[in-house]
Amino acid sequence: MNGQAKILEPRRLYQQIADQIRELIEAGEFQPGARLPAERELAQKLGVSRPSLREALIALEIDNTVEIRMGSGVYVSAEPLQPRHHTKSLGDSPSELMQARAAVEGATIVLAASRMTDETITNLRRILAAMRKEIEAGRKPLDQDRLFHVTIAEQSGNSVLARLVANLFDERHSPISAQLRVKFEDRDTWAHALQEHETILAALEARDPLLAQAAMHGHLESSKRRWVDD
């Protein structure tokens, strides 16, 4: 055979679930304009977790198959369903990304805590002060959030880990993660995130690696729940 065979990207779970829902719509089980069953019921029907289902619904909303109305439910688009064999990839699964971040940043902060300096602590305080100011102004402090996590990672002294932390954080800009932010991030969720960052900083100030690791794991687990588990 001439040329190289095309390498197929593994289909993510949310794509597979979205395809199942699309097939049900195409089969007429859910009519245009109809409300889909509640998340818990639909997850049981499909035999999947609610976080994975939520990601699938976000993917279907991006391609205009469904409409998510906060406080009301998920509705099949009134527009005619466009023929499509498979849901396209919109980035890595947000819940899997948060698991990866917990693994990487949980290990990284242990190294950072053992190497922490007064200068870095002062820098982290400044970052959180700027983060608080952005939240109070009604803005989303994404730049400060990223800088906080990357600064800690850089203090580990391991450039590979620092790069991994930055790259994983930047996946927040993928289409599926960005849409989740639009739906589920607000001033209150950011206020909780700020408190969690302050807990992390307190552990770093104490130069306590295990306490810092627990604080980082707690923060990222809470972030995951705010995004896809609630």
Q: Please report the pLDDT score of residue 227 as a whole number.
A: 72
For the segment 186-201, the average pLDDT, to the nearest whole number, is 95
**In Å, how far are 41, 43, 216 from 98, measured between CA atoms?**
25, 21, 11
Pairs from 215-218 (Cβ < 8 Å, separation ≥ 24) = 216/102, 216/105, 216/106, 216/109, 217/102, 217/106
Q: What is the largest CA-CA distance in the chain?
A: 63
**Would you say 98 and 54 are in contact if contact means Cβ atoms under 8 Å apart?**
no
Contacts of residue 103, defined as CB under 8 A and 6 or more positions apart, other chains included, come to none
pLDDT of amino acid 126: 98
End-to-end CA distance of the chain: 50
Average pLDDT of the residues of the chain: 90
pTM of the predicted model as reported, rounded to 2 decimal places: 0.85
**Please, which pLDDT band fits residue 12 given cuts at 50, 70 and 90?**
confident
* pLDDT, tens digit (0-9, with 9 covering 90-100), for 75-126: 999 876 666 667 888 999 999 999 999 999 999 999 999 999 999 999 999 9
